[in-house]
């Protein structure tokens, strides 16, 4: 089974247009503390062949708390509780847990649910306009990151898409819909207790 990760995560706000994707991202980081959205995801191998399609919902509360729910075709739950990262595969009855600081780092999730210090971990640049979106490219400064680059596409001031390229040549594309900015969130959404009988694997 392909690991359906990106941790992460994503979202919105509305208002005046920005000069470029970097400006839109910085406004997003400054204005959005919580968000909810639906997503669809496709994963392509290094030859561009489709390996997986999935969909689900996500929510975050910055910094460091997020809930990423894959509903189709397989059930998987990814939760960041501010201290730890939990990944639960329902069909495998398996839970993986690790320290969130190690897992978040220069990951794509840090661009959405991390701290405001984005440029401490990423090199950002505008990446032009395509598909009706204003794009930016973020490259992790950590040479050991499993991601080579992350592209984020904004429709006006709404984050509409992400494209992640990992160091194995795989590309993950995400499209977001039904985004809500700064909704009320329940702290319990970002907590996780392993189900009884599930195998728990930790670093």
pLDDT digits (tens, 9 = 90+) for 125-164: 999 999 899 999 999 888 878 889 999 998 877 789 999 9
Residue with tokens 């994707």: 21
Instruction: Give the model's confidence band at 14: pLDDT under 50 very low, under 70 low, under 90 confident, else very high.
Output: very low
Give the CATH superfamily of 21-202: Lipoprotein localisation LolA/LolB/LppX (2.50.20.10)
pLDDT of residue 115: 62
Q: 103 by DSSP, 3-state: which?
A: helix
Domain ranges of the chain: 21-202
What is the tens place of the pLDDT at every residue in 162-176? Answer: 999 998 899 999 999
In the predicted model, what is the mean pLDDT of residues 63-67? 89
Distance CA 100, CA 127 (A): 29
The pair phi, psi for residue 202, each rounded to 5°, is -130, 155
Name the burial class of residue 194, with classes exposed (0-12), middle (13-18) and buried (19+) by CB atoms within 10 angstroms of its CB. Answer: middle
Q: Which two tokens stand for residue 119?
A: 């440029």
Instruction: Give the model's confidence band at 109: pLDDT under 50 very low, under 70 low, under 90 confident, else very high.
Output: confident
Please state, rounded to an integer, the average pLDDT across all residues of the chain.
84
pLDDT of residue 175: 95
Distance CA 78, CA 81 (A): 10
Question: Which range is most confident: 17-26, 41-50, 104-113?
Answer: 41-50
Q: 29 by DSSP, 3-state: which?
A: helix
Residue 115 Cα to chain centre, angstroms:
14
Instruction: Give the model's confidence band at 203: pLDDT under 50 very low, under 70 low, under 90 confident, else very high.
Output: confident
Instruction: Give the model's confidence band at 13: pLDDT under 50 very low, under 70 low, under 90 confident, else very high.
Output: very low
Q: What is the pTM of this model?
A: 0.81
Instruction: Give the model's confidence band at 93: pLDDT under 50 very low, under 70 low, under 90 confident, else very high.
Output: very high
How are strands ordered across the β-sheet holding 76-81?
A: 122-130, 133-140, 147-155, 158-166, 171-181, 34-44, 50-61, 65-72, 76-81, 84-89, 94-99, 199-202
Residue 4 has pLDDT above 60, yes or no: no
Distance CA 68, CA 179 (A): 14
In the predicted model, what is the mean pLDDT of residues 48-74? 91
């Amino acid at each position: 089974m392909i690991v359906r990760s990106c941790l992460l995560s994503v979202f919105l706000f509305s208002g005046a247009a920005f000069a470029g994707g970097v400006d839109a991202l910085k406004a997003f980081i400054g204005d959005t503390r919580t968000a909810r959205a639906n997503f669809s995801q496709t994963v392509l191998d290094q030859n561009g062949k489709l390996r997986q399609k999935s969909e689900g919902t996500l929510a975050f509360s910055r910094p460091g708390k997020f809930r990423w729910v894959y509903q189709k075709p397989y059930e998987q739950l990814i939760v960041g509780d501010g201290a730890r990262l939990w990944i639960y595969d329902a069909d495998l009855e398996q839970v993986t847990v690790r320290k969130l600081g190690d897992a978040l780092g220069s990951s794509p999730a840090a661009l959405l649910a991390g701290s405001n210090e984005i440029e401490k971990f990423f090199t950002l640049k505008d990446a032009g306009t395509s598909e009706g979106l204003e794009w930016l490219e973020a490259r992790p400064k950590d040479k050991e990151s499993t991601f080579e680059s992350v592209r984020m596409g904004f429709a006006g001031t709404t984050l509409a898409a992400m494209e992640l390229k990992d160091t194995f040549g795989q590309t993950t594309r995400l499209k977001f819909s039904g985004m809500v900015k700064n909704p009320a969130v329940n702290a319990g959404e970002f907590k996780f207790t392993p189900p009884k009988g599930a195998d728990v694997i930790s670093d």
